[in-house]
Structure 1
């Protein structure tokens, strides 16, 4: 697993984990009980606008936050039946407990969603 960083961003800044394979996904689940996955595609404008939101979620919500390029990891996209992007899936102990697949979501919504599933 690699942490993503863009040239204009400090590497000290918390960032979502970029999953590039099913093996990365499996390793993430071994390390974290609560995970927010965002499925994206290259060139998706809404997905790009979610990047700073996910950075805020990483800093203030429980659990891990990860992104998956649906086109590059088709096995995961199929496993989660991703039909549009961005699709956000919350996993608790490896099981899907929530899904948002209706476009842009604000940081507050995502933080509240993770906090809700962290206390179960």
Structure 2
């Protein structure tokens, strides 16, 4: 079975879309980076390295320093699919990130987005 297209897409193409979505709603690139860091454990240098090396989304998540133990608290619907019901582990991580960015764009407070 072929891999889903998003798995092989370079992070360098996906990341700007996240930033644009946030900025259109008055949020910042720094907040997007904070969310990515919270979810994956990447610091700013590590995130930039992943983008510069044009690693695909699958490699980005495979090399993540440490997925946040509270990521299981991320619940809700993205593109009509409940993120907590996604069976493929990689797709679930992608959907978690999508959900967090959606919450940011909808104006949710960072404390709530980061499940504090």
Task: Give your verdict on TM over 0.5.
Answer: no
After TM superposition, the score normalised by the length of structure 1 is 0.28
After TM superposition, the score normalised by the length of structure 2 is 0.29
